[in-house]
Amino acid sequence: MSTGNFDAGGGGARTARWRTAVDVVRHLRHHPRPTRADLARDLALTSGSATEITGRLRRAKLLSEEPAPVAGRGRPTTLLRPHPEGPLTLAVEIRHEESRCAVATVDGRLHDVRTLRHDDGGPEQVRAGLAAAVRELRRRHRARLRVVSLAVAATVRDGRVVQSAALGWGPVDLAPLTAGTHLPLLVGNDATLAGVAEARTGATAGARTALHLLVDVGVGGGLVVDGRPVVGATGAGGEVGHLPLGDPGRHCPCGATGCWDLEVDGRAIARHLGDAPPTDARDYAHRMLARAASGDTGAALAVRRVVAALGRGTAGLVNAHDPDAVSLGGLAGPLRAAAPDDFQAAYAGGLMAFHRDRPPPVLDAAHGDLGALRGAAEVGLDRMTTGAALAEWHGVATGDPAQSTWDRN
């Protein structure tokens, strides 16, 4: 994912007038349905300024107000919420057996979540199905739809999928997803985007530096600093599953040997049990976790070995990145819960001595199965709520792009 996707800028005199508007609109993502008084307090605005800015945002079809529940004898107030005709981001996620999409309003809430099954379909089938869904949603929402933000279980460089060991894909051009719609397309790794969601509104919210690990088919991860992912020079950073933490004689589908990916998922459990490689590694892992919980000693031992590998790798990443907190998504949480002592022993044993007095807490992800989709929505909303984007939207909403009421006032 290109770091430009996270640019909060927007230059020029006209765009500068929208800087406070950007703050207000983005405030809604972290403070659902605030009052004007909440807004004034949190953004250090005067009461008059808060009233003026919310009035302008109503006229720009960005915010609306609704009466707050009556409590006591105080003066009636209103709650701020997204305008029912306001701009939308389309968040999309491509996973091993299915894709999902949802529209997100400026408060970050997901609406109309839908699932598209593709099972063993290749990239062309997946791309065609999603392109049809994007076109249909564009027809439904028309100019309200402003950007498409995609999370994919793949290595992403310069906004393109270069390979996916999990999906069995080589390089794939995803530009056809938005062909003919004139919508910008943002592309990011699913684990990285899930980490964005956890760092902003989930388990690691408030942490300046947060590490997220997602176990599905293999393990992915992301480092998030001040709410923004660290993705390297070309966007391909965060491929923690391909650190050489495993058996160097074992070949990974990514092309490397000894990858951590091969030690922490259903494939590793099957190998420890002497089973054939599972067709669906995630489903297999869930079944083995259930068997272990029911008292199957063989399954329990295999799970414990995988959990220890997860704990050791987590410690290594803590040593490398020094995060304030770590979140575990996908199968990582259930795996740790199945053998918490094994995880803790491997985690503590792998930490450098100075970390052991105050090790970063390892927390279960708060957004669960929706983490990557929520992260994609967050990044799309970042793009949609820059000063330049809001100024452009104002022209669309009012039909007066050259002389908006905002500029005249």
The model's pLDDT over 52-67, given as tens digits with 9 standing for 90+, comes to: 888 989 999 999 988 8
Strands of the sheet with 98-104, listed across from one edge: 110-117, 98-104, 88-94, 145-152, 185-189
Contact 51, 387 (CB under 8 A): no
Task: Quote the radius of gyration of the chain (alpha carbons, Å).
Answer: 23
Residue 330 has pLDDT above 80, yes or no: yes
Residue pLDDT, tens place only, 98-147: 899 999 999 999 999 999 987 667 888 899 999 999 999 999 999 999 99
Residue 360 has pLDDT above 50, yes or no: yes
The DSSP secondary structure of 340-404, one letter per residue, reads HHHHHHHHHHHS-HHHHSSPPPEEE-SSGGGHHHHHHHHHHHHHHTSHHHHHHHHHHHHT-SSS-
- pLDDT (0 to 100) of residue 5: 38
Least Cα distance to 209 among 190, 182, 178, 230 occurs for 230
- pLDDT (0 to 100) of residue 78: 79
Residue pLDDT, tens place only, 19-51: 888 999 999 988 888 888 888 899 998 888 888
Say which residues have a Cβ less than 8 Å from residue 45's Cβ, sequence separation at least 6. 20, 39, 53
CB-based burial of residue 72 (10 Å sphere; 0-12 exposed, 13-18 middle, 19+ buried)?
A: exposed
pLDDT bracket for residue 1 (50, 70, 90): very low
The DSSP secondary structure of 62-127, one letter per residue, reads SEEEEEPPP-TTSPP-EEEEE-TT--EEEEEEE-SSEEEEEEE-TT--EEEEEEEE-TT--HHHHH
Q: Which domains does the chain have, with CATH numbers?
A: 3-85+386-408 (1.10.10.10), 88-193+370-374 (3.30.420.40), 206-365 (3.30.420.40)
As a whole number of angstroms, the distance between CA 340 and CA 235 comes to 34
Residue pLDDT, tens place only, 161-206: 898 888 888 899 999 999 989 999 999 999 999 999 999 999 999 9
- pLDDT (0 to 100) of residue 91: 97
Residue 10 has pLDDT above 50, yes or no: no
Partners of 352 in the β-ladder: none
Give the predicted TM-score (pTM) of the model. Answer: 0.89
Torsion angle in degrees (nearest 10) through CA of 335, 340, 341, 344: 90
As a whole number of angstroms, the distance between CA 161 and CA 200 comes to 25
pLDDT bracket for residue 245 (50, 70, 90): very high
As a whole number of angstroms, the distance between CA 325 and CA 366 comes to 13
CB atoms under 10 Å from CB of 112, counted, come to 13
Token duo for residue 272:
């420890």
